[in-house]
Structure 1
């Protein structure tokens, strides 16, 4: 993807809060780039490809940044929520996006700080449509009618006439698989719908804008494997996930 008004080989340094003009529906997200430039925010439809340390408009192939690690999730109900500024790694907690939310948990005697937006991006935000839908209160109900036939063996999903699902992606098999998981798995659906709920509960108005630091309730993910890159402090045994 090529980004307009972004210099070649720009690296994403920080990902800040989301904002929307009061009375509008067009959400954007604050992003700080290196080198510093006039472009300081993107539309939320671009969240699927926005990640810290990712290089935008590269002129050559770039290597993934950060320490590579993998974990097996036991139960996300033991995870806590904390701000980036609570991470003991000084290079992390001193940044301008320090008020963004993370999931904080331990695994094999190492403490992890996982930005909540990053987990949502991996789980749900594979397509711009899903990002936009997640911020609509009762968006799933407005776009889809789910009817279970013969108990749980068969399900019929109707796309409502008011659905915002673009026509050209309705035949996309990968998108349909993600949608099926969100619509039919009660735990995934609860997690997806918590995004809009947190925005309504925790967002705040400043002058002409609605501002919100992204937060959501994760699905249980019991037994799931998670692989990511991060900033690893060996002495403190702490990982900040990118």
Structure 2
């Protein structure tokens, strides 16, 4: 349950209005329409309130806050639409002068066809960009990215040098999805232009009165051609339109980035081959709190730990995922090109939301609002090149090349173990080959150990049925993590199949098919298949 201190109990957001701040203050706020507890009289039920704009990751229409009882679900439908070109959608302004997009669409599942939907611009910006308190604040600051990140493009990779006084929460660099989102905003041409259009419009359009400044949010969206949006909508018989309350997911998000992105900082350090928490005077440690109370009336203290605020996740998946890494650099975080010798790729590490100062009274909070579900397994195919070449050599020798099934999947997170990720922060993947040889069925599995975490042989499992094996494969993968990157024992597999290991060549990641070690690997593999 999300709690905001100055909201009444069981408050429901009915609309988001203008962004404003008092002349004497620095923090920007957003006007919020709230429905109060349903037991109150009509005059008391609806009220205007506000929250800091840095709370935007939480603020979607129809969400409830400070909830202490159950409510009947609001009459909403969930539809998924495919975007042709969002920049060609109509822009309309409602009675409260808030900007919206309008277009005739159809649900891709054919539940609704040729309907007019109305999408608030601020909701689209929220799910594309405003995933954290930092990004919400940065959206209104035209020079924030230029001051805090130095982008160095190279032939096969891009380095993002994190400059001195960068306020992006250090712990968020450990989150692969957040790294990828930040890289997309910084490096993708359309995404960067769209994000910066927020601050450009803000600076040129905001209006100042004697005591207050205000602005009605609007921006230029990326085209999002081919992307699919999953929406919560409600139908108004009065206008014959469908109004979007919330965007739940965006899939097939276009991206022009096709190379590795490395975030570099002198504050990233390594100790005993494990990454340590980033240390800086701004504070880098963080805690997690599933039920914090957000207090917009007090200022966060920059010396206190950052509290990670669990909030409803927005599912994003890129059409062409790219790899991100962290790296330590030897020099201070200043602009300018540096040598690759200065860069050391790192292993991954085993509340107020406003801008914090050392004079604040309460702890700092940050949202984890992005759930990255990009299908990025193809990024890790190269880590199985030797294994795949060995299998292909075997199948060619025995003329069964067309009788195999090759798949790659991710190892699951299990409890607090970090072994489902490799030291470079990417998900540890597992390759599986199913084949039939001499009238017997085999599953051959190989785990990505490119970080040399532990030597792990190729495993061959003789199975009676591929269907039964497939049903047990998820628990098989869990056991690998539970056993600290070791294969499940024969006892654990007794009802699934008969296992046997095959040792790798010592230099598996550098071997070629002409090497004697490679040929010996194929020979050992063949002998094991024949023996069980």
Taking structure 2 as the reference length, the TM-score comes to: 0.41
Match of 1:71 in 2: 81
Distance 2:74 2:183 in 1: 31
Deviations 1:49-95 (A, max 9, x none): 1111111112246646522222100111211211123xxxxxxxxxx
| Larger helix share, 1 or 2 | 1
**Is the partner of 2:4 in helix, strand or coil?**
coil
The whole-number CA distance in structure 2 between the counterparts of 1:187 and 1:23 is 35
Which residue pairs with 2:27 in the alignment? 26
> Structure 1 CA distance, aligned partners of 2:183 and 2:91?
28
Of structures 1 and 2, the one with the larger relative CO (CA 8 A, separation 6+) is 1
Q: Does structure 2 conserve the Cα–Cα contact (< 8 Å) formed by 1:65 and 1:229?
A: no
Match of 1:81 in 2: 91
Task: Look up the match of 2:58.
Answer: 49
Cα shift at 1:18:
0.5
Task: Tell me the distance in 2 between the aligned counterparts of 1:175 and 1:12.
Answer: 26
Stretches of structure 2 that go unaligned for 5 or more consecutive residues are 37-44, 107-113, 246-532
Task: Give 1:20 deviation, angstroms.
Answer: 2.0
Aligned partners of 1:29 and 1:3: how far apart in 2?
14
1:33 is paired with a residue of what secondary structure?
A: strand
Give 1:145 shift: 0.8
TM-score (norm 1): 0.86
**Distance change in 2, residues 1:137/1:65 (3 Å):** farther
- Following superposition of structure 1 onto structure 2, how do residues 3-152 of structure 1 map, counting pairs within 5 Å? 3-22=4-23, 24-35=25-36, 36=45, 40-60=49-69, 63=73, 66-85=76-95, 98-108=96-106, 109-150=114-155
Q: Residues 184 and 228 (structure 1 numbering): CA distance in 2 closer, same or farther, change over 3 Å? A: same
Match of 1:170, SS state, is helix
Partner of 2:173: 170
Query: C-alpha displacement at 1:113, in angstroms?
Result: 1.1
Q: Equivalents in 2 of 1:124, 1:21: separation in Å? A: 25
> Does structure 1 retain, via aligned residues, the 8 Å contact 2:54–2:133?
yes
Whether the 8 Å contact between 1:127 and 1:175 is mirrored in structure 2 is: no
Q: Deviations over 1:196-221 (max 9, x none)?
A: 00101211112222100000110110
Q: Say if 2:87 and 2:220, in contact at 8 Å, map to a contact too.
A: no
- Partner in structure 2 of residue 94 of structure 1: none
Ranges in structure 1 where 5+ consecutive residues have no aligned partner: 86-97
The alpha-carbon deviation at position 23 of structure 1 amounts to 6.8
Offset at 1:229? Answer: 1.3
Cα distance, 1:37–1:77 mapped onto 2, change above 3 Å: closer
Structure 1 segments, 4+ long, off by >6 Å, are none
- Between 153-162 and 24-33, the greater mean CA deviation after superposition: 24-33
Higher-Rg member (1/2): 2
Q: Give 1:203's match in structure 2, choosing from 193, 196, 206.
A: 206
Count of aligned pairs = 228
The alignment's C-alpha RMSD in Å is 2.1
Change (3 A) 1:84 1:21: same
1:240 and 2:246 aligned: no
Tell me which moved more, 98-107 or 216-225.
98-107
